[in-house]
Structure 1
Amino acid sequence: MSEIGILGGTFDPFHFGHLSIAEAAIKEFDLSEVILLPTKVQPFKIGREMASEEDRVNMVRLIAKENKQFRVSTIEAYGQRVSYTYKTLKLLQKEYPDDKFYFILGTDSFLTLEEWFKGKELLQEFAFIIGVRPGYKTSETEDTAKRLKERYNAEIKMLHNEIVEVSSTEIKNNIRSGKSIRDLVPLQVERYIDEHGLYK
């Protein structure tokens, strides 16, 4: 049985914050790989302007091409209109019946996990790795983890990742104002954004 991390997100675009959490999860918990899972439209982001599924998938594929422990799944990006984590993990479970999944979350998402679509079932049926995000207190995250473990017998591991202060909003603002994004995204992503004129 392999232990596989799953890192989902709009990846609009994929940046060093995403990369940091994925690499830290592999290292700290000895994961065999991390599946990068670009979403189509997250329920709470409906209506926002985003790069196309194709562009976001292509950028993530460029990252996976450089790292043998990353794989890309397009099950959400090219699937149903709205992505629900529970449905996606159930589908992936059928593809990898002998493996164990750890869904990787940032602190911000983790604190509202119970309120997600089938949040209770998620917590009861799947394991989680929580990466630290800027602006959140460690005590708040640990208290939430303790409560969810007690209520749902959930398997939750805390990741001791380095905090990388970067956001997709900052990247897009820099592009629109002509500033460099070299310190915010991997080189392959920077080149792709430039070549395809994204976010201008």
Structure 2
Amino acid sequence: MRIGIYGGTFNPIHNTHIEIAKAALNQYNLDKVYLLVAGTPPHKDTAESVADICRLEMVELAIQNDKELSIDDREIYRSGKSYSYITLTELKNEHPDDDLFFIMGSDSLLNFKNWVKPEIISNAATILVAPRLGDDTELLNKSIEECKTLFEGEFFLIDYAANGIASSKVREDFYKDEKVKDCLKPEVIQYIINHNLYSEHQYSYPDILKLSEEMKIALKPGRYVHTLGVATTAYALALKWNYPAYTAMVAGMLHDCAKCISDEERLDICESNDLPISDIERKYPHLLHGKVGAYFCSSKYDVYDPQIAHAITYHTTGCPNMNLLDKIIFVADYIEPGRDKQPRLDILRSEAYTDLDRCVYMILEDSVAYLNNNPDMVDPTTVDTYNYYKQYMKEKR
């Protein structure tokens, strides 16, 4: 077989990455190209933006319909710095009778002689180089000739001039420039949004500690203990479902920040700030604590992430088509360690780490059953959410 290996951080993967892989595959009659998702390369800090698993999952989504493209995830799980010569040595041992082709960008070619043990790489695989639009072809050809004199093996250009898009540009402008999204698969776009990747709003553990102290003052002791339980459960669920964990923890810490003010205060805040009040909320103003809490995020606690505000707004009722953080906070509020009155909690706690959508649906089932016994307290949003997830789970099965 003729096997291509195309390494990169893919943070995130964009259409040009895929086009380069396909150009190499077609021009050099490759049977398959493996996208080698970098773990911790010596020249880049992949931890700067997102979890390694998120990068891997975006690649999976981007190539799911391309049978000739596959993933090699070995470097994700390798400890320490990940050098290409180690991977190429492993691959050559695994495919002793196959021809390997190592695909790289023109920037990598120009610096190839400075890589760690480049002679092992060129001896194990033919090097295929993808030029960028605007590259100096004469300079690239000189670099190829230089590499041929320095190392064994063959070096060739791919007949494809990659455009100027870079993953760093996508990370920087994803929420600022809609045109940037044109270079991404729709599934990758949705993944980035749902997992809140590349957001300008970043949080750290000191932020959590600060909010914890503020909640200790704002909440009654029992509510504060509940809040800590929700925050830590949200953190654990975020780790499981590959959502930024500190962002989820901030949302959990603030989800009940308006719980311990009076009904009159909640109504007054909504009316003074044009926050909508439904009939059921006017009748039972305690139901407004989600909306008021979302308002407090920016007005009192300097937390401006819209996903956090949205999750806090709907943490009690849920809403149709919840995003990932919505589900995490909705579930964490229901199953945190201090809860002991709700039915089938042991099942729900297990399901939360197995099938988050099913856990959401099961909680809604129990909530609607409870509200049916208290019909004057039924919030239409909860019923709408239940009906949405009832249909969603049928289609999912």
- Structure 1 length normalisation: TM-score? 0.92
**1:27 is matched with which residue?**
26
Is contact 1:40–1:83 with CA below 8 Å preserved after alignment?
A: yes
Deviation of residue 176 (structure 1)? 4.0
Aligned residue identity for 2:144: A
CA distance in 2, matches of 1:107, 1:131: 6
> In structure 1, what residue type is equivalent to 2:88?
L
**Kindly tell me: are residues 40 and 153 of structure 1, through their superposed partners in 2, closer, same or farther at Cα, counting changes over 3 Å?**
closer
CA distance in 2, matches of 1:80, 1:50: 19
Preserved contact between residue 8 and residue 37 of structure 2 (Cα < 8 Å)? yes
In 2, distance between residues paired with 1:7 and 1:187?
22
Mapping of 1:99-118 within 5 angstroms? 99-118=98-117
Compute the RMSD of aligned alpha carbons. Answer: 1.7
Query: Would you say 1:148 and 2:158 are equivalent positions?
Result: no
Aligned length: 199
Please give the per-residue CA displacement for 1:128-164, whole angstroms capped at 9, x wherever unaligned.
1011124421111100111221332321111011322
Indicate conservation of the 8 Å contact 2:58/2:188, yes or no: yes
Equivalent runs, 1:170-185 vs 2, <5 Å: 170-177=169-176, 179-185=178-184
Q: In terms of Rg, which structure is larger?
A: 2
Q: Answer yes or no: is 1:52 the counterpart of 2:19.
A: no
The 5 Å alignment of 1:34-49 reads 34-46=33-45, 49=48
Larger proportion of strand? 1
Aligned partner of 1:193 in structure 2 is: 192
Q: Distance in 2 between matches of 1:154 and 1:121?
A: 10
CA contact (8 A) 2:102 2:126 kept: yes
Q: Distance in 1 between matches of 2:93 and 2:153?
A: 21
Q: Give the Cα separation in 1 of the matches to 2:3 and 2:46.
A: 32
Deviations 1:173-193 (A, max 9, x none): 222436353212122211111
> Where does residue 15 of structure 2 map in the other structure?
16
TM normalised by structure 2 equals: 0.48
Letter in 2 for 1:177: K
Counterpart in the other structure of 2:90:
91
| Aligned amino acid, residue 90 of structure 2 | L
For 2:143 and 2:177, the matched residues in 1 are separated by 41
Residue pair 2:174, 2:181 contacting (<8 A) in 1 also? no
For residues 109 and 126 of structure 1, the distance between their equivalents in structure 2, rounded to whole angstroms, comes to: 15
Matched-pair contact (CA < 8 Å) for 1:7–1:37: yes
Q: Which amino acid aligns with 1:191?
A: Q
The amino acid of 2:4's aligned partner reads G
Which range is displaced more, 16-25 or 47-56? 47-56
Partner of 2:390: none
5+ residue gaps, structure 2, are 200-397
Instruction: State the structure with bigger RCO (CA 8 A, min sep 6), 1 or 2.
Output: 1
Q: Which runs of 5+ in 1 are unaligned?
A: none
Structure-to-structure mapping, 1:63-78, within 5 angstroms: 63-78=62-77
Return the alpha-carbon distance in structure 1 between the equivalents of residues 17 and 123 of structure 2. Answer: 26
Alpha-carbon separation, structure 2, partners of 1:11 and 1:193: 13
User: 1:42 and 1:135, CA in 2 relative to 1: closer, same or farther beyond 3 A?
Assistant: farther
Percent of aligned pairs sharing the same letter: 30
Secondary structure, counterpart of 2:63 in structure 1:
helix
Worse-matched range after superposition: 25-34 or 133-142:
133-142
Aligned to 1:173, the other structure's residue is in SS state helix
In structure 2, the residue corresponding to 1:101 is in which secondary structure?
A: strand
- Cα distance, 1:56 vs structure 2: 0.5
Kindly indicate whether the alpha-carbon contact (under 8 Å) linking 1:131 and 1:160 is maintained by their aligned counterparts in 2: yes
